Amino acid sequence: MNPVPRIAVLLSGRGSNMEAIARAIQANRLSARIVAVASNRAAAAGLEKARELGLPAHCFPLRDRGREEYDAALAAFLRQAGAEWVCLAGYMRLVSRPLLEAFPRRIVNIHPSLLPAFPGLEAQRQALEYGVRYSGCTVHLVDATLDGGPIVAQAVVPVLDTDDEAELSRRILEQEHRLYPEALALLLSGAFEIQGRRVTRKI
């Protein structure tokens, strides 16, 4: 039997996607083990949620470190914890070279829009303001660009005339919680190929 893949989750806030991943593992919908949940913010509610779920939760403050210095230390910490994959879940920092090199093509992110539309902050608000009829969420591999790596999976969410930012965000988040564990199941199984920007299931 293959060993269970070991993942780390990085977050900066609420942590509902981290919880969705943890619950998918508990329910045997995802074969993985969370070896660390880490946050750059001590006050992140997601850290408390992780502890409640019995997961090892760590605050990893920036202190005075520059981006690369911080990411090098974080990479060493995650490696030490045994992580093979890193899942960003509401992690509000750009990932730099030392972390990318420590986990090549093994850092995953979820973003609340249909990329390449509306990268960056407040994607749901951007979608409403632009007037699109459909938005959604995207799971993608992380590279040095903002929300720009190869796309693994997407889910479409219609934008309703009655939507405000909170309501659209709520319906997108529902899809995020389904999509992220599903996309991870594909990645962690290893049964995928990357061709350029395309991530496809190996047949």
Nearest to ligand GRF of 106, 111 (CB atom) = 111
Residue range at the interface with ligand GRF (CB under 6 A); choices 2-10, 70-78, 104-112, 192-200: 104-112
Cα–Cα distances (Å) from 31 to 36, 67, 71, 84, 185, in that order, read 16, 32, 27, 13, 7
CB 172 within 8 A of CB 179: no
Quick check: 78 binds ligand GRF (CB under 6 A)?
no
Cα–Cα distances (Å) from 73 to 9, 79, 88, 98, in that order, read 16, 10, 17, 9
Q: Quick one: which of 30, 38, 75, 110 contacts ligand GRF (CB under 6 A)?
A: 110
Known catalytic residue at 140: no
CB 145 within 8 A of CB 94: no
Quick check: 5 binds ligand GRF (CB under 6 A)?
no
Quick check: 46 binds ligand GRF (CB under 6 A)?
yes
Residue 92 CB, shortest distance to ligand GRF, in Å, is 8
Quick check: 138 binds ligand GRF (CB under 6 A)?
no
CB 167 within 8 A of CB 173: no
Active site residue ranges: 111
